[in-house]
A = this chain, B = another copy of it.
Amino acid sequence: MSLNLQTHTEHFTNPLYLESGRILEPYDITYETYGTLNEDKSNVVVVCHALTGSHHAAGTYEDDNKPGWWNGLIGSKKAIDTDEYFVICANVIGSCFGSTGPMSPMHPHQQPYRYKFPVITVKDMVKAQRILFDRLDIHHVHAIVGGSMGGMQALQFAVHYPKFATKIIALATTYATQPWAIAFNKVAQEAILKDPDFKQGYYDPDVIKEQSLSGMAIGRMAGHLSFLSHESMQRKFGREYKSTDGLYELFGKFQVESYLEYNGYNFTKWFDPLTYLYITKAINIFDLARGFDSLQEALQKVQSEIYLISFSNDLLFRNYEMKELDNLLNEVGNKNHKYIDIKSDYGHDAFLVELDKFDNHIKEALHG
The interface of chain A, by Cβ under 8 A from chain B, is: 19-22, 115, 118-119, 121, 176-180, 182-184, 186-187, 190-191, 194-196, 214-215, 217-218, 221-222, 224-225, 228-230, 233-234, 236-239, 247-250, 254, 256-257, 260-261, 264, 277-278, 281, 284-285, 287, 315, 318
Let me know if A234 and B278 touch, CB within 8 A. Answer: no
> In the complex, A360 Cα to B303 Cα: how many Å?
54
- Chain B residues with CB under 8 Å of A180's CB are 225, 228-230, 233-234
* Other-chain contact of A190, B115, B176, B221 (Cβ < 8 Å): B221
* Other-chain contact of A250, B115, B228, B287 (Cβ < 8 Å): B115
In the complex, besides A179-B234, A222-B222, A248-B285, 10 extra interface pairs with C-beta distance below 8 angstroms are A177-B239, A178-B230, A178-B233, A178-B239, A180-B229, A180-B230, A186-B257, A187-B218, A194-B218, A254-B284
Q: Which of A191, A225, A239, A284 has the most CB of B within 10 A?
A: A191
Per assembly, the copies of the chain total: 2
Decide yes or no: A250 and B187 within 8 Å by CB, A234-B180, A238-B179, A256-B182 being known contacts.
Answer: no
> In the complex, A214 Cα to B218 Cα: how many Å?
13
Provide 7 A-B residue pairs closer than 8 Å at the C-beta atoms, listed in order of the A residue.
A182-B239, A182-B256, A182-B257, A191-B218, A230-B318, A247-B285, A250-B278
- Chain B residues with CB under 8 Å of A249's CB are 119
Let me know if B194 and A237 touch, CB within 8 A. Answer: no
Let me know if A250 and B119 touch, CB within 8 A. Answer: yes
Please provide the 3 A-B residue pairs with the shortest distance between their CB atoms, ordered closest to farther.
A20-B248, A194-B214, A179-B256
Q: Which of A215, A217, A248 has the most CB of B within 10 A?
A: A248
- Chain B residues with CB under 8 Å of A230's CB are 178-180, 315, 318
Decide yes or no: A214 and B234 within 8 Å by CB, A183-B256, A281-B250 being known contacts.
Answer: no
- Chain B residues with CB under 8 Å of A238's CB are 179
* Other-chain contact of A239, B176, B187, B191, B239 (Cβ < 8 Å): B176
Q: How far is the CB of A362 from chain B (nearest CB, A)?
A: 27
